[in-house]
Amino acid sequence: MASAQNQHFTTSGTVEFNKTTNIYALITKEMYDDKDGSFEQTAFEAYKKDHPQFRVLKSTLTFTNNKTLFTHDDEDDQPNGWWDLEIAKQPNTIYTDLGQGRNVVQKQVFEQTYLLSDTTRKIHWKITDETREIAGYTCRRANAIVMDSIYVVAFYTDKIHVSGGPEGFTGLPGMILGLALPHDNINWFATKVTDMTVDEKTIAPPKKGKHVNQAELKATLNDAMKGWGKEAYQNLKAFLL
């Protein structure tokens, strides 16, 4: 594993991430907004007997020559029970060409697979002086708002000269090794960084799915989920993030 303590700068390798979701916190928020809280509280107590508080899913970001490929390492085979939380899943395979500012995302939305080809998300990061050690690297904190209202905290290292990150988050002067959505009880943190030569041919965009761009997918989802109320907003956030 590469170390931030030396002067070596990494330009090719892999980053292994854990996505951790606090399921209990998300369910509690849903119940708080629900009028029939007594019924859901009983269901929640039963849910907690068979389901852990945190759901952890693994993924890998492979990078070289300013190109990255984010893939999920395991299927989400943990039963959801009463609450089917889309935001706690990991449905995306993401190819990003940082030089061209474009990405291709294979996204599973319910029973449909989409293939999004679009520009990378423009994020207005505010870099701070706060630092944190992640996977052997000293990382600096940056904050941003995406999708108008979602607060994002990122920790990046300039020892990895690739401006990538998990789930297609980019735009910082180095690799994002930690990413959190504090108000949504979700985070991605690197568990291991491997400095290695990667054959660029292995970093290729996914090809399976119905071709759309971000605006077209949003319009399709808005139309499909008319009348879903708060559930529609939560699903949109999960699928468009």
pTM of the model: 0.90
**What pLDDT does 37 receive?**
54
In this model, does residue 2 exceed pLDDT 50? no
CA–CA gap between residue 141 and residue 215 (Å, rounded): 30
User: How do residues 95-115 score in pLDDT, each as one tens digit?
Assistant: 999 999 999 999 999 889 999
Identify whether the C-beta of residue 91 lies closer than 8 Å to the C-beta of residue 103.
Answer: no
- The 10s digit of each residue's pLDDT in 190-199 is 999 999 999 9
- Asked whether 91 and 109 are in contact (CB, 8 A), the reply is yes
pLDDT category at 229 given cuts 50, 70, 90 is: confident
In the predicted structure, residue 91 carries a pLDDT above the cut 90: no
For the chain, give the percent of residues with pLDDT over 70.
90
98: Cβ contacts below 8 Å, ≥ 6 apart:
66, 67, 68, 120, 162, 163, 164, 170
Mean pLDDT over residues 212-240, rounded? 86
